[in-house]
Amino acid sequence: GTGSSILSALQDLFWLSKSKLEKQLQIISVLQWVLTFLIMGIACTLILMYILCTDCWAIAALYLAWLVFDWNTPKKGGRRSQWVRNWAIWRYFRDYFPIRLVKTHNLLTTRNYIFGYHPHGIMGLGAFCNFSTEATGVSQKFPGIRPYLATLAGNFRMPILRDYLMSGGICPVNRDSIDYILSKNGSGNAIIIVVGGAAESLNCTAGKNSVTLKNRKGFVKLALQHGADLVPVYSFGENEVYKQVIFEEGSWGRWVQKKFQKHIGFAPCIFHGRGLFSSNTWGLLPYSKPITTVVGEPITIPKIDDPSQKEVDFYHSMYVDSLIKLFDKYKSKFGLPETEVLEVN
């Protein structure tokens, strides 16, 4: 009767409101991460300097003293927090796109691993969500494996930001940090290196699947020196979430980007996503396009203290072939045509 109709209408209204609320929480979760990525380090540095000039200077002085004492912690595996990695905000972050982690093979806890993550995209959203949080269940899918996402060492010189990054299991992508994790931290460690780095981000564009890999062999040499197995990882959709202005080789824009990349470690990109209140306007929020990260089959690597260039080239070639096979096997499952080819630069 009438009562049932009213109840049904109220239930529909309730679920509509709940759906809208979840969407807003998803937007907020992504926005806070984008702002963290872009400005948190600089903002925290400026705030700390300001506090030093106020009556609360003692608070800033205590933190700076702690910073000096704790300076080398990022190089020694960091200080991860399972509580932070399990925050509910990361599940909203995951569902905004959504982001999914696909396991294809088991990983032995008696071995260490170097994951090569491709492509970089603008911000490496899939790499962060899958390996620096528990939103996609990395610990359940790979029990006994501790993932460490490697990023620019300069981020760990920024106050507050360094602690925030370490809480997610993020480490500097430098020799000291990687050597420590692979040689002095037991087994069952997996370092995720975004191999293409800043150079690859410059060519990131929607509808294009290309990786910067031909001359990136340092990670293979590290794997050989530590006897760490190599694991190719490809994120379908990573390049789709932002639109970027691509500067041609030889242009002034590309010259500026390469100078930044050489001297600072990152390349400034001109990009845009959607607006905060509408997907039809430009803004900093990424587009809600699905990102599916596929972890491939590990390549068994022998331990060679001083590998020759020939040995490095051999295992690098194996890795490239394995990545291409992974891409070809899964491309049609995640929205790409069978004719799509992975471009290796």
Do the Cβ atoms of 283 and 276 come closer than 8 Å? yes
R_g (Cα) of the chain, nearest Å: 22
Q: How many domains does the chain have?
A: 1
How far is the CA of 260 from the CAs of 157, 264, 268, in angstroms? 18, 5, 7
Strand residue runs (E) in the chain: 99-103, 113-118, 146-151, 170-172, 189-194, 210-211, 229-236, 243-244, 271-274, 282-283, 291-295, 343-344
Output the tens digit of pLDDT for each of the chain's 345 residues.
555 555 555 455 555 567 888 999 999 999 999 999 889 999 999 999 999 999 999 999 999 999 999 999 999 999 999 999 999 999 999 999 999 999 999 999 999 999 999 999 999 999 999 999 999 999 999 999 999 999 999 899 999 999 999 999 999 999 999 999 999 999 999 999 999 987 888 888 888 899 999 999 999 999 999 999 999 999 999 999 999 887 777 787 777 877 777 766 667 777 889 998 888 888 999 999 999 999 999 999 999 999 999 999 999 999 999 999 999 999 999 989 999 999 999
Half-sphere exposure (CA, 13 Å, Cβ side) for 295?
26
The DSSP code sequence of 1-47 is: -HHHHHHHHHHHHHHHHHHHHHHHHHHHHHHHHHHIIIIIHHHHHHH
pTM: 0.90
Both tokens assigned to 185: 């931290």
Do the Cβ atoms of 162 and 171 come closer than 8 Å? no
Please tell me the distance from the alpha carbon of residue 119 to that of residue 121, in angstroms, as a whole number. Answer: 6
* Backbone conformation region of residue 265, classed left if phi is above 0, alpha if psi is from -120 to 50, else beta: left
Please tell me the distance from the alpha carbon of residue 213 to that of residue 207, in angstroms, as a whole number. Answer: 19
Question: What's the domain range around 77?
Answer: 2-344
Both tokens assigned to 257: 């980007």
